[in-house]
Amino acid sequence: MAQTTTQPQVELRKRHAKTVQITASEKIIADISTGIYRTPAAALKELIANAYDADATEVRIETDAPRFSQLVVRDDGCGMSLDRFLEIVQHIGGSRKRIDSPTGYSPVHNRKLIGRIGIGLLSVAQLGQRFYISSTVKGSRTRFLAEIDLRPFHKDDAALRRLGEQRDGDEIDIGSVRYVDGLPEASASHYTVITVPDPKAGLISEMQSQLRTFIKSEPTFTLGKRAKSFQQIVETVQKSKRADIVLDSYHYLAWELGLLCPVKYLEGGPFLPATRGRRRIVGADEIELEEPQNFTVMLDGLDIRRPILFPNPRATGYAGPDPAVHPINWREVVAGREVSISGYVYVQQPHVDCHELNGVQLRVRGVGVGPYDKSLMGYPYDEGIKFGQVSAEIYVKDGLESALNIDRSSFRETDPHYLAIRAYLWNVLQKTVFPLQKSAQKTVKAQKDEAKQEEDEKVLEKALKGAPAGVGSRPTVSPKPPAPARGRSTEKTPGPKEARKPKTVKPGHYQTIVVVAKGQAQVDRDELEEAAKLFGLKKDAKTRLLRVAGVLAAYDVWDSLSPEQARGLFHALAAAVRS
């Protein structure tokens, strides 16, 4: 006999999806106007930050590359109920998170909360005017599905305000939500899924790098020639001057997500250990890195990591000081609230190769706030090329949230916490980083000069072998003559022939400018100083003059000259080597 499989009874009235309006305060509208995010990565960052706050361990983003006909962002966070979702969309910009969690920490992984969830929803509006969101919380046997239409949000600021005149108070309708609740779901499941079914043309154009194609740019990785791993992307960028030269827009999105999201560094990064082909980084062992635990972001299967790997290959071949990293660690009460930061300032010569990693990036709760600031938070001294040698990350553990602008990519620069952190950074740069950099540079230069001189002398020595006088390659300067004894100032100055005969010279008694004594050319100190003064010789030029004089001595040239002729030749040589 046939059996029937009976499903649990579901009680529902016969009705269709409900609709509510999405509202935001006029102040928020004034702040955000249209399109508050600089790049698609910055918009996605908001959703990832929301997932992080919701104790997710994984966020998966599927872009449907290379068509980009849909976008999906799914996380395994704690999810939300329909009531909570509706409350959020009706109070855009007002964060419920800290009200729901008075400690400011997430309940499962004890993460310090990052953001404002309503703003995250507006970030999706940059990707498409209409999208779906569905979520379920653990223990619930249902999920909700909502379709969000943010077309009004895409109108300009003035148009939005006109819409707002139709409502009471300062709330403005920026869109609507249709939703249905009670869709069946396993009670153990918890997730949030956002689906953008019809991404905007501008986004698709950007992701497909149509403009780059138009100008015939030739990046290393393209949609037709995809990187096999995130590591491969980073290694390629590491060798290049700018990430956006070697990456098309799609790969740049992946790379930028790594910079902005609270994800781990690449294996072995950011400071690679020294090997035969790679320079050591001074101080790398002392840096305490801040990395999130139990959190990954996957973009079309790519495991997104923080894309920082130092030293750049170019630093290895450069004859400058070893790259160095200086720790940052500071805690202070500022304006009654605690500010706590850690991080590092990395310095590499001749410069940090990748343009986008040059400067300083502040990370609040692991999330990068905007791109690297090349001005080093407006550092007010001209450090010339040294600016290009710095790459710093500052992890803000406590404080600074109030300074974040609504786009969460920049700060309000009059905020006390921002000012305090800036002061600390400038202090570190001025008192530690740049002085150490200069002193390391000087030491290396001195070592370099010394090594070069030794090398030059070896070459000269070789060249002088077999010269008639057989002098060495290192002419010396005569010691300072002792002060002449009183009453014995009538001593006759010997002529050139007389000077040659003895081959030994008494201190303070010179017949000519250059003599050879014990197989060594010796130049009269007074004559040298006089010539140096006369022709403005610097140290290097004086060394060159000595060497040339030595060569002439090795060939007995000085012996054949009168003192006047010798002086004349000496001055001519001084003039010749002066520059």
Partner 1 sequence: MKKDDETSLKDFVNSLDETGHERRAEMHSDSFFDNAPDDATLVTRSREFDDIHKHYVRRQVWLKLVKRVAAANGGNIHLLTLPGKFRFEVGLYQKCGLLKRVPHNGRDCLSVVGFETDPTTFGLLKTSGPPLLEMLLGSILSALTDATSQNGVLIRKHAPFDVINLDLTANIANQHDGPYSPFLQSIRECFQLQGSQSTPWLLMVTFRTGLAETERRVVQTLTDFFQTNLDTHLQFREQCLDAFDVESAATLLERRPHDGVGLFTGKWIVEQGHQFEWECAEFKHATFTRGFSHKDGSQDAYGMSKLCFLFKKRLAPRRQLILRQVPAQSWHADDLARLIKPGNRVDVDSAVANLSESSRARLAAEIEEFKQNQAITA
Q: Which residues bind partner 1 (CB under 8 A)?
A: 1-17, 57-58, 60-62, 64-66, 69-70, 72, 74, 76, 128-130, 132, 134, 138, 143, 145, 147, 149, 151, 178, 180, 182-184, 186, 188-191, 193-195, 197-198, 200-202, 205, 210-211, 214, 223, 226-228, 300-301
For residue 97, the minimal CB distance to partner 1 (Å) is 21
For residue 34, the minimal CB distance to partner 1 (Å) is 12
Q: Which residue blocks in 308-398 are alpha helix, DSSP H?
A: 313-317
Q: Assign residue 294 a region: left if phi > 0, alpha if psi is -120 to 50, beta otherwise? A: left
- Interatomic CA distance for residues 563 and 512, integer angstroms: 6
Element (H, E) at 146: strand 142-149
Residue 61 or 577: the one with the smaller Cβ distance to partner 1 is: 61
Residue 2 or 483: the one with the smaller Cβ distance to partner 1 is: 2
For residue 83, the minimal CB distance to partner 1 (Å) is 17
Residue 217 or 443: the one with the smaller Cβ distance to partner 1 is: 217
Residue 13 or 462: the one with the smaller Cβ distance to partner 1 is: 13
Residue 137 or 577: the one with the smaller Cβ distance to partner 1 is: 137
Element (H, E) at 165: none
Residue 211 or 451: the one with the smaller Cβ distance to partner 1 is: 211
Residue 183 or 459: the one with the smaller Cβ distance to partner 1 is: 183
For residue 150, the minimal CB distance to partner 1 (Å) is 9
Q: Determine the Cα angle at 90 with ends 85 and 92, to 5°.
A: 95
* Buried/exposed 182-209: b ≥16 CB within 10 Å, e otherwise: eeebeeeebbbbbbbeebbeebbebbbb
Amino acid identity, position 465: K
Q: Which of 28, 304, 379 is nearest to 173 (CA)?
A: 28
Looking up tokens 């540079």 gives 441
For residue 125, the minimal CB distance to partner 1 (Å) is 11
- Interatomic CA distance for residues 514 and 494, integer angstroms: 14
For residue 255, the minimal CB distance to partner 1 (Å) is 15
Q: Are 53 and 115 in contact (CB under 8 A)?
A: yes
* Buried/exposed 280-313: b ≥16 CB within 10 Å, e otherwise: ebbbbeebeebebeebbbebeebbbbbbbbbbbe
